[in-house]
Structure 1
Amino acid sequence: MTSVSEENLPSPSRKTALFLFLFGFAVAFVFVFVLYGRQNAVAVAYDVNGFGGLGRRLASGEGFSLGSGLTMRRAPLYPGLVALLLTIFGVSGEGAEIYRPVFFVQCLMVGATGVVVWAIGRELFNERTGRIAGVLTPLLPQTLRYVSSTEVETLMGLLIALMAWTGLRFWRRPGMAQAVLFALVCAASTLTKPMGLPYPFVFCICLFLKFRKTEGSKLFVATGACLGVYLLCLFPWSLRNSIVSEGKFRGISTNAAGEFLRGYVLAQPKFFLLKQDFGGNDSRELIWDVEANDYEQKAMESYSVPFY
């Protein structure tokens, strides 16, 4: 019997990455397909904000619509992913049944996010820190809350982690390949939820100011390419929204202003100390983040665009 050479054995890093991926996937899978429908800590709802329905209509050939004409209130990437999965696996079914392929893929995303977080932790700090961070990632309440619904947050969490990882690599090794990869990840994040829209600009400015004396023209070309690729990826959807709104709106999502504001609104003590009354058990009575919605509605009225 021949022995397996050491070169063919998985490296410790590969084994750690595989373990964290499988651990994150397993935690998410058990919560989605076993625990979520049986728990009563939060209301069981699979498509609260209509992303699943949007993907379903897209897969059925009804267009990018929330049900009342073409919408500009959502960024395209996540509904497009939902539509792709439903096109492959079918659009018939009720409730959670139709979205099972989406939930399964989101479980894979949770596993992948843990691996990316581990990679960031080990590069910034050490192996132990990375492993702890990778294990904790799928156990976060926010992770479990959104993986069981057709919401953008699971995909967004993965992309934000990838933004941090590719940004770290770009910062430490400024070059064309790192610039393009960072730009593509930032574009994917922005086309999922436009909260990441200004990040590449701020990042590239800081990078250029930090290394302009040592990297010179090479850095100028890399940051320019980064922003060029980023804007090029966003242009088709911006053009689509301009056409739909007859030139009144050229952004990624009319919901962007409200999404930015929610970060500040929900940071108020009345929210994070749970002093805000969100209503009773009936989901129709939930007050949600009314301040952000009011701000968003006023912003959209200036473009003569309906709230939904």
Structure 2
Amino acid sequence: MRRLRTYAPIITIFCLALLVRLVYNVTVARGYFPAYDARYYDTIAKNLLGEHCFCLVGHTPTTDRAPLWSFIIAIIYAVTGPINFYARLFFCLIDAGTCVIVYLLARDIFNQRIGLIAGILAALYAGLFIYTGWLYTETLYTFCLMAFAYTLYLLQRTGLLRWAVYSGLSLALASLTRPNGFFALGMVCVWGIIVIRAKIIPWRTVVRAILIIALITAGLLAPWTIRNYRVAHIFIPVATGSGVVLAGVYNDTALTDPELLGMWVPGNRIRPPIPRSAHPSYMGENENRGYALHWIDTHLSSMPYLLSLHFINTWKPYTSEEGLPFREFPDRTSSKIAWNLIQYMPIVIIALATLGLATTWKKRLDLLVIYLILLLTIGVNIAFYGSMRFRAPIEPLLVILTAGAIWWLTGTLRTLRQDKSNNTKQHDGTNISTVSAGNNEKVTKP
């Protein structure tokens, strides 16, 4: 019976989340064809199977993409054939797992009832399930990051080093999914300093845990880093592309074009154009990065405005993301429903999450990992560029903070009811005493 009580909520949330995602994929995303970045992952996966090469074109190895998602697609295609629905089905399963982690975190931080609310919200929240309908890395990266958050929380709560092993594994997988996942190693160091100062667990345990996480992450990334060096003859921990991103973000078009304010700009629309050398370095990384740094240096007065645009874009319900199924098939009734959900649900979740952030201060140490991941993700988005897609990794954390707001509201209402009940009892007691005293006076009056 106790085991049933433990696993029933987990099974219920997983099944609900899976059902929602399956419905989305067989209605909105029916007939989906990978385009844009999704096409790159799909092509690399097919080349892994057909050419035995991590390549985009022919037999030319690439370092342009992080490897994990393409390898997973290749494994799925090896079993099912090159049918992208099964890759999206994999996304449905792991995103349902993300909802379960949301439940577990909220349950451990607040209570069982709030955990259930958080899990159900995550299962139904469009800001999570829309990414299961295309072959970008958002769903996989979010799952890995949430696994990292939960294991780091359990490490902080129990002091058991086995959770450091799981944290290192999940952080390595996140980094192999998206290169900026590696930035979380710096966040772990900040977490360790705070935990030591707060005397939550012994400092020796914290130091050992940080070393375990760092060694596991670096150890699992090392083979791919070595492979990249053999291909490009330069040090590339996971993937190239930062130069392309920086050049696309820091230019006159991103600063002045009304359609692209604070967003990434394709190379053919960058103004002024990027000068190219006669013999460009591998993938043009140096030219792109140099262009961005020069633009920043010559536009310092515009940087506060541009960075504020990155911050604002991070919190918009929808920014232009081509390739999402509800934009690819806009005439479907299911797509119109999804479009309306993504227009309004994030506004409610972000507003309640902000309230939760402001009102859960007594749980601040339990929420420490959530705070740090929020700050890291927002900081990366400000430095590069903000969009609804880059908010995806922290959508589950916003749901947990929304549940925190509900926890605070229900607690406040309970306190008010108790105070009102106590005041009523005191008032009634006073009246009874007064009447009794009056009656006694009448009885004893000569």
TM range (shorter): 0.7 to 0.9
Q: What SS does the aligned partner of 2:57 have? A: coil
CA contact (8 A) 1:28 1:147 kept: yes
User: Measured at CA, do residues 219 and 137 of structure 1 come closer, stay the same or move farther in structure 2, by a change above 3 Å?
Assistant: same
Partner of 1:157: 142
Q: What SS does the aligned partner of 1:10 have? A: helix
What TM-score does the superposition give when structure 1 sets the normalisation length?
Answer: 0.76
Q: Distance in 1 between matches of 2:221 and 2:137?
A: 18
* TM superposition shift of 1:21: 0.4
Partner of 1:61: 51
Partner of 2:15: 22
CA contact (8 A) 2:229 2:235 kept: yes
Question: What are the residue-to-residue correspondences of 1:20-59 with 2, within 5 Å?
Answer: 20-37=13-30, 45-49=33-37, 50-59=40-49
User: Measured at CA, do residues 138 and 218 of structure 1 come closer, stay the same or move farther in structure 2, by a change above 3 Å?
Assistant: closer
Q: Distance in 2 between matches of 1:151 and 1:236?
A: 24
Partner of 2:340: none
* TM superposition shift of 1:99: 1.0
Q: Distance in 2 between matches of 1:258 and 1:137?
A: 33
User: Measured at CA, do residues 225 and 194 of structure 1 come closer, stay the same or move farther in structure 2, by a change above 3 Å?
Assistant: same
CA contact (8 A) 2:148 2:171 kept: yes
**Cα deviation per residue 1:246-277 (whole Å; 9 max; x = unaligned)?**
2x232211124666899999xx9999xxx626
Question: What are the residue-to-residue correspondences of 1:91-102 with 2, within 5 Å?
Answer: 91=82, 98-102=83-87
Q: Which runs of 4+ in 1 moved over 4 A?
A: 256-265, 268-271, 291-295, 300-303
CA contact (8 A) 1:166 1:178 kept: yes
CA contact (8 A) 1:72 1:253 kept: yes
User: Measured at CA, do residues 257 and 208 of structure 1 come closer, stay the same or move farther in structure 2, by a change above 3 Å?
Assistant: farther
Aligned length: 273
Question: What are the residue-to-residue correspondences of 1:85-234 with 2, within 5 Å?
Answer: 85-91=76-82, 98-211=83-196, 215-234=202-221
Partner of 1:252: 238
Q: What SS does the aligned partner of 2:4 have? A: coil
Q: In percent, how many aligned pairs have the same letter?
A: 22
1:79 aligns with 2:56: no
Q: State the AA in 2 paired with 1:252.
A: V
Partner of 1:281: none
CA contact (8 A) 1:208 1:223 kept: no
* TM superposition shift of 1:165: 0.7
**Cα deviation per residue 1:104-129 (whole Å; 9 max; x = unaligned)?**
11111121111011111112222233
CA contact (8 A) 2:148 2:166 kept: no
- Please list every run of 5 or more consecutive structure 1 residues that lacks an aligned counterpart in the other structure: 1-5, 39-43, 92-97, 279-287
* TM superposition shift of 1:197: 0.8
- 2:226 corresponds to which of 214, 227, 239: 239
CA contact (8 A) 1:195 1:259 kept: no
User: Measured at CA, do residues 115 and 252 of structure 1 come closer, stay the same or move farther in structure 2, by a change above 3 Å?
Assistant: same
* TM superposition shift of 1:220: 2.2
CA contact (8 A) 1:24 1:138 kept: yes
- Please list every run of 5 or more consecutive structure 2 residues that lacks an aligned counterpart in the other structure: 286-446
CA contact (8 A) 1:208 1:220 kept: no
Q: State the AA in 2 paired with 1:75.
A: A
Q: State the AA in 2 paired with 1:104.
A: L
What TM-score does the superposition give when structure 2 sets the normalisation length?
Answer: 0.54
Q: State the AA in 2 paired with 1:124.
A: I
CA contact (8 A) 2:73 2:87 kept: yes
Partner of 1:289: 264
Q: Distance in 2 between matches of 1:36 and 1:289?
A: 25
CA contact (8 A) 2:137 2:178 kept: yes
Q: Distance in 1 between matches of 2:244 and 2:123?
A: 27
The Cα RMSD (Å) is 3.5
* TM superposition shift of 1:60: 1.7
* TM superposition shift of 1:100: 1.8
CA contact (8 A) 2:46 2:74 kept: yes
1:304 aligns with 2:281: yes
User: Measured at CA, do residues 305 and 160 of structure 1 come closer, stay the same or move farther in structure 2, by a change above 3 Å?
Assistant: same
Partner of 2:355: none
CA contact (8 A) 1:46 1:148 kept: no
1:10 aligns with 2:1: no
Q: What SS does the aligned partner of 2:56 have? A: coil
Q: Distance in 2 between matches of 1:261 and 1:79?
A: 25
Q: State the AA in 2 paired with 1:35.
A: V
Larger Rg: 2
User: Measured at CA, do residues 15 and 270 of structure 1 come closer, stay the same or move farther in structure 2, by a change above 3 Å?
Assistant: farther
CA contact (8 A) 2:21 2:132 kept: yes
* TM superposition shift of 1:144: 3.2
CA contact (8 A) 2:249 2:264 kept: no
More helix by share: 2
CA contact (8 A) 1:175 1:219 kept: no
Q: State the AA in 1 paired with 2:42.
A: G
* TM superposition shift of 1:28: 0.5
Q: State the AA in 2 paired with 1:61.
A: E
